[in-house]
Amino acid sequence: MIKKITIAIDAMGGEDAPDKTIHGVSYFINNYKNQDDFLINLYGDEIKIKEKINKYKIFSKNIKIIHTSSIVSDEETPLTAIKNSKNTSMWNCIKSQLDGNSDISLSAGNTGVLLVISKMILKTMNKVSRPALAALWPNQKGMTVVLDLGANIECNENNLIDFSELGSALYKSLYPQNKPTVSLLNIGSEEIKGTDILKKAYAKLKRLSNEQNFIFNGYIEGNKLMDGDSNVIVTDGFTGNVALKTAEGTAKFITNNLKKSLTKNFFTRISLIFSYFSLKEFKSKLDPRKYNGAILLGLNGPVVKSHGGTDAKGFFHSIDLCYRMVKGNLLNQIKSNLSHLENGE
């Protein structure tokens, strides 16, 4: 009998939960209604969850509710999380991996608390110096994995090497038909540019580069991130978070100003009729909901953080991301890459 992919979901995390989370589950169930290779374990208030399941008419034998009366509040701090978060929906959702009851955990709840208790429960994998927060960005040719996005503000060269292996494994799990190509984010593409840490990481990645694990493409500048020439971009958490927020702000600026220009007067509104399908495609490409879900890599089990303010469609995409990563054997891909790292040292 083939083991089903089991996704643990903190049904009470994020804004408008559990309505949004259960609505997102309904989208996922409908999208995969012809497949029977997954289970979804919902952690939270059983009565409230059942109300939403009835509201969205979810009839599936692949859903299980695990009642949890306590939740992690938005006001909770990482410092108090250890004492106050035990036996909450978030805690039990993550611990389910440790107990062998799930393959991956998903929450839209408090980010700081999620990172702390994930590290505490699942522990860092052997051979990984630090876990990293990764996300998927669209580019001109497909998708790019970018990490770290804020879990590690300062990094040394060994951290960046680990992030390269983790990011490549994530990319291979999602896009097995493509070869991961890794670049280090820098202020220039020349070998002589950058900090000593970047130069040391560059030299080592050049040695580790191979056809099986990843191809090292050298440095990449910020204005080339969306070109698609590299599909794994590695940087420290401070720079990565700044790049992420800048990209989000730029996308919002472009869409808002385009909307203003096209609805400015009668003639611009008329032009919308002739460009409707092109604009619809453009809007879809920049829809942040399609890329919802930051992945905490490097622990003994993958954890996905959905944006707390996303809607049901955005939450659906984060569930879909979980499903695809497990289906692509993410943990085995990581272990394979880490053995490559050990052999390359």
For the cut 60, the answer to whether the pLDDT of residue 312 exceeds it is: yes
Write the burial class of residue 5 (CB in 10 Å: 0-12 exposed, 13-18 middle, 19+ buried): buried
Residue 344 lies in a domain: no
pLDDT of residue 249 exceeding 90: no
pLDDT of residue 261: 80
Is residue 12 in a domain? no
* 152 domain-assigned: yes
- Tell me the CATH number at 190: 3.40.718.10
How confident is the model over 141-195, as pLDDT tens digits? Answer: 999 999 999 999 999 999 999 999 999 999 999 999 888 999 999 999 888 888 9
Residue 185 belongs to domain spanning: 129-297
DSSP H helices in the chain: 19-31, 46-55, 78-84, 89-98, 111-122, 157-174, 196-208, 237-262, 266-285, 312-327, 330-344
- Specify the number of domains making up the chain: 1
pLDDT at 64 over 90: yes
pLDDT of residue 281: 78
pLDDT of residue 342: 61
Does 138 reside within a domain?
yes
> Which two three-digit tokens encode residue 95?
């611990």
The average confidence (pLDDT) of the chain is 90
**Tens digit of pLDDT for each residue in 196-230?**
999 999 999 999 888 778 999 999 999 999 899 99
Total-model pTM: 0.90
Query: What's the pLDDT at 81?
Result: 76
Write the pLDDT tens digit of every residue in 252-294: 888 788 788 878 887 777 877 777 777 777 777 778 889 999 9
| Residue 232 in domain | yes
Average pLDDT for residues 286-315, to the nearest whole number?
93
Matching residue, tokens 């008329």: 270
Question: Mean pLDDT across the stretch 113-129?
Answer: 93
Q: What is the pLDDT of residue 257?
A: 84
Look at residue 29 and tell me if it is in a domain.
no
Sheet hosting strand 294-297, strand order edge to edge: 63-67, 38-44, 5-10, 104-107, 303-305, 294-297, 132-138, 143-147, 232-234, 181-185, 215-220
pLDDT recorded at residue 267: 73
Please indicate, yes or no, if residue 338 is contained in any of the structural domains. Answer: no
Give me the phi and psi of 66, to 5 degrees please: -115, 110
Answer yes or no: is 107 within a domain.
no
